[in-house]
Amino acid sequence: MTTDGPVGAPKIADETAADSATDAAAPGPVGAKPAHDEPGDGDTLLNRFLQNLWAANTVTVTVLSVVLALVIGAIFIIVSDPDVLSTFGYLTARPSDAFDASWTVVSDAYADLFKGAIVDPATITAWANGTGTWRQVFFPISETLTYAAPLVFTGLSVALAFRGGLFNIGGQGQAVVGTITAAMAGFFLPLPPVIHLIAALAAGLLGGALWGFVPGILKARTGAHEVIVTIMLNYTANLFLGWLILQKGVQQPGRSDAISKTVDGDAQLTSFGGELRANLGILLAVLATAVVAWLLNRSAFGFELRAVGANPPAARTAGISVARTYTLLMVTAGGLAGLGGATQVLGTAHALTPQVAGNIGFDGLLVALLGRNRPWGTLLAAILFGALRAGGNRMQSFSGISLELVTVLQALIVIFIAAPALVKAIFHLRAARSARLGASMAKGW
C-alpha cells in the first residue's frame, strides 16, 4: 500500500510514456494520410516532378527509346565506315585513335542530321551578316514539316481505327486513291482558285473514304478481317494507279513515261515561297489532329467507337450498332488517309507517278504506334519522322551516311516503343508514382 506514494510515481510516468509511444506508433484511422503526404508539407510540384523523372511513364520511355536508337545507330555508323574500322586494329597500341575517329564520324553525322532537320547555325550567321536569307535559315524545318504533313493524316487514320478496335493496314491504298482523285480534280475541273483547291482536297478525302468503306462494310456485314481486305486493296490501288497514268487524257502530252498531267496552279497547296517547300498541308494536318481529338473525346461517335473498341459485345448490349460503327470508322479513317495522299500530290508532287504516294501509308503505321494511338502524340511522332527524313538527306550528302540508316533509326525507335519492358530493364526505371499508389490502393482493398 505504501508503494502508491512517491515511490510509485516513476512507474506511473513510465507507463504513461509507453502508452504515448504506443499511440504514436499505432496506425491512425483507415484512409488517413501520413503527415508528409499533406499538401504543402514537402509534396510540392518540384518534388513530384523529381520523383517521376526517372519513373516508367510514357514520356520517359519514349525519350529513352529515341536515345537507345541513336546509340545503336552510332554503332552502325562506326561499323559501316572502313576508315574508322581500320583504326581499331591499333586499339591496344593507340586506343585514342579509334575513339577519336569514332567520335568524329558519329558527331559529324548527327550534327548533319540536326542541321538538316532543325537549323544550320551557319545560315543564321550568314543571315545576320547580310550574306544569307531568312529562307535559308528556315529551310531545314520547312523540309521537316513537308515530310511530316502527309504522315500526320495517315498516322491519324491508323490511330483512329485502332481506338475503335480495327487495324487499318490499308492506309497506303487509301492514300494512293486520295492522290488519284485529288489530282484528277486538280487538272480536270475548271474552277476558280480557292474553290478549286477545296474541291481537290474534298476529292482526295472522298476517294480515301470510298476505299475505306469497302473493308468497313465487309467487316460489318460478313465479318471479313479488315487486315486481309485492306492489304489486298493496297495492291489493287497501286495497280489501278499504274494503269490510269498511261491512259489518254491523263498521261502528260509528249511524254512516254508514266506521269500524268500537272495539277493546275489554282489547285495546289500554297507554299511559303522560294526554296521553302512547306505548304498549307501542315496547317491542315494540325487542324485534322484537333478535329480527331475532339471526335474521340467529346463527340457521341467517339464514345461509341471507343466502347466498341473496348468490348463489342458489351457495346452491342448497351444499344450501340457495332456494324454501323465499324463502317463509319473505316470511312473516316480512309478519308484521313485520302487527305494525306491529297496533301502529297497537291503540295509537292503536283503530278501522278507510280510512286507519288511513297510509303506514307506504311509509315503512318509506325507514326501511330510511336504516338501511342493518341492524336497529338501522332502529330509529334510524324514531326519526328519528318525530321529524321529531312536530316537524313543532309547526312547522306555531307557525311556520306546511307539514307537507309534513317530507316534503321525509325525501326529501332518503334521497336523500343513497342517493348517498354526492355527500356525499363535497361535503364532500371522504377514504377511511376501513380502506378505505385494504384497498387497500394489495390492491396488495401
Give the pLDDT confidence of 38-47 residue by residue, as tens digits.
444 445 665 6
170 vs 228: CA distance, rounded Å: 9
8 Å CB contact between 342 and 204: yes
Exposure string (b/e) for 307-345, b if CB count within 10 Å is 16 or more?
A: bbbeebeebeeeebebbebbbbbbbbbbbbbbbbbbbbb
Residue 434 has pLDDT above 50, yes or no: no
8 Å CB contact between 185 and 200: yes
Stated pTM of the model: 0.82
In 3-state terms the chain splits into helix, strand, coil percentages (rounded to 5) of: 75, 0, 25
8 Å CB contact between 354 and 242: yes
Q: What is the mean pLDDT of the chain?
A: 85
Residue 176 has pLDDT above 80, yes or no: yes
44 vs 175: CA distance, rounded Å: 48
Place of cell 530507316: 407
Give the residue from 66, 162, 117 showing the smallest Cα distance to 369. Answer: 162
Q: Which DSSP state fits 29?
A: S
pLDDT digits (tens, 9 = 90+) for 185-211: 999 999 999 999 999 999 999 999 999
CA atoms 394, 397, 400, 403: torsion sign: positive
pLDDT digits (tens, 9 = 90+) for 384-416: 999 999 998 998 888 888 878 888 888 888 888
Out of 255-269, 354-368, 412-426, pick the least confident. 412-426
Residues whose CB falls within 8 Å of the CB of residue 71, separated by 6 or more in sequence, listed in order: none
Out of 116-125, 187-196, 248-257, 392-401, pick the least confident. 392-401
Residue type, 409: L
Residue 53 has pLDDT above 70, yes or no: no
Q: What is the rounded average pLDDT of the residues 209-238?
A: 96
Place of cell 494536318: 285
